[in-house]
Amino acid sequence: MRLLTRISVLLVAALLPLIPASSQEQPAPAQKPNESPTFKARTVLVNLTATVTDRRHKFITDLDEKDFRVLDEGKPQEISFFSRQTDLPLRIGVLLDTSNSIRDRLKFEQEAAIDFLYNTLRRDKDLAFVMTFDNEPEVIQDFTDDLDRLSTIIRKQRAGGGTAFRDAIYLGSQKLMKPPAPTGANPQVRRLVVVISDGDDNLSDHTLSEAMEMAERAEVAIYAISTNTDWLALDNEQAPKKIMKSHGDDVLERFSNDTGGRVFFPYRLDDLAQSFLDIGNELRSQYTLAFRPGDVGSSGQFRRIRVEVDRKGLIVRTRHGYYATAAPPAPPPGK
């Protein structure tokens, strides 16, 4: 019997190369009815936060989904999610310019930033980190809702050195790309950078376009407060006029406009506090929208977005676009 079995095995081995390849292939195992595939694509949503004002800069907060129109490269998109709820958890990066150029204003900037956090940050819901930048950016306080800890570390800072503004925007946005998740079932948060600076830069490794791309990929809204004091008062200080925007002012304005944030040019030191108050008011007067883009590929192409409302005379501010990237595959079941 053993001899016959051995002969049979040898005969099959000899004939196997003569059998067509298609006959050798084994059928794929059938998927069990309740078994998930090993990989599946995740749903990709483009999230937008929109601020709507009239021409007098008054916030308009009574719009509904039907009042909005979202265009992706000029093509209308179906809105998948809409909310007037301004209660989403905040993830805030406070970026303080501590270079030598703002030495005279540092103390007031510190107090204004602290007041902003005390008026905006909600314990057990919102989180903020603080980054300073002079010769290089440095996170001096990681994400926390501990206002006493935030204020203490901000007050300890001293001015000196050069300015690595673009690096700070890049690294601050990168940190906000994966912020701590909120508790509960809803993972949505609002990400924003509040930067106080004159916008000048003399030490960064990253280019302006690299910093902008990182902010856009992280879906960060940048609120910039200019420390440039190049102003001219006409007749009296009640009617100040900016002589001209500096290059740094233009940079701050570009970052803010392209990400759906806002730039402020305070005239007096006291106006810094008002700028922070205006940011806090705006955060409570926004809309959240999302749409599911069509087949846009995964080449990393930047796609332009425009959001419109059907009421005349209203102005919508939101980020200007997003990068088309394929959704990463979901991990295998059980991982």
Cα gap 254→83, rounded to integer Å: 27
User: 57 and 124, same structural domain?
Assistant: no
**Contact (Cβ atoms closer than 8 angstroms) between residue 193 and residue 215:** yes
User: 202 and 216, same structural domain?
Assistant: yes
User: 269 and 170, same structural domain?
Assistant: yes
CATH of the domain at 209: 3.40.50.410
In a domain, 335, yes or no: no
Torsion of CA 148, 153, 156, 159, to 10 degrees: -140
Strand order in 90-97's β-sheet?
A: 137-144, 127-133, 90-97, 190-197, 221-226, 262-264
The dihedral sign for the CA sequence 232, 132, 253, 220: negative
In a domain, 128, yes or no: yes
Q: What is the pLDDT of residue 94?
A: 97
Amino acid of residue 117: L
Phi, psi of 210 (to 5 degrees): -65, -40
In a domain, 276, yes or no: yes
**Contact (Cβ atoms closer than 8 angstroms) between residue 98 and residue 133:** yes
Q: What is the pLDDT of residue 334?
A: 41
Q: What is the pLDDT of residue 233?
A: 53
H-only helix segments in the chain: 2-15, 21-24, 106-120, 147-155, 165-177, 208-217, 247-259, 270-283
Q: What is the pLDDT of residue 37?
A: 42
**Cβ contacts of 119 within 8 Å, gap of 6 or more:** 276, 277, 280
Q: What is the pLDDT of residue 227?
A: 86
- Closest Cα to residue 300, out of 329, 316, 321? 321
Cα gap 88→78, rounded to integer Å: 22
Provide the domain count of the chain: 2
Task: List per-residue pLDDT tens for the chain, 335 residues long.
Answer: 444 444 444 444 444 444 444 333 444 444 444 444 433 334 478 999 999 999 999 999 999 999 999 999 999 999 999 998 667 899 999 999 999 988 888 988 898 899 899 989 999 999 999 999 999 999 999 999 999 999 999 999 999 999 999 999 999 999 999 999 998 888 889 999 999 999 999 999 999 999 999 999 999 999 999 888 776 555 555 656 666 788 999 999 999 999 999 999 887 767 888 888 899 889 989 999 999 997 766 567 899 999 999 999 999 999 999 998 754 444 444 43
User: 158 and 66, same structural domain?
Assistant: no
In a domain, 291, yes or no: no
Torsion of CA 268, 269, 270, 272, to 10 degrees: 100
User: 224 and 114, same structural domain?
Assistant: yes
Q: What is the pLDDT of residue 188?
A: 85
User: 195 and 78, same structural domain?
Assistant: no
User: 171 and 141, same structural domain?
Assistant: yes
User: 101 and 80, same structural domain?
Assistant: no
Q: What is the pLDDT of residue 240?
A: 62
In a domain, 39, yes or no: no
- Closest Cα to residue 122, out of 153, 101, 99, 146? 146
Tokens of 150: 């935030």
In a domain, 15, yes or no: no
Degrees, nearest 5: CA angle 22-23-27: 80
Helix and strand numbers (H, E) in the chain are 8, 16
Return the number of other C-beta atoms located less than 10 Å from residue 157's C-beta. Answer: 16
In a domain, 18, yes or no: no
What is the value of pTM for the model shown? Answer: 0.81
**Cβ contacts of 87 within 8 Å, gap of 6 or more:** none
Tokens of 5: 């079995």
| CA-based radius of gyration for the chain | 27
User: 160 and 77, same structural domain?
Assistant: no
Tokens of 204: 């960064």
User: 198 and 279, same structural domain?
Assistant: yes
User: 112 and 187, same structural domain?
Assistant: yes
- Closest Cα to residue 151, out of 116, 103, 186, 101? 116
**Cβ contacts of 113 within 8 Å, gap of 6 or more:** 94, 96, 154, 194, 196, 276
Whole domain around residue 313: which residue ranges? 46-85+299-323
User: 225 and 125, same structural domain?
Assistant: yes
In a domain, 262, yes or no: yes
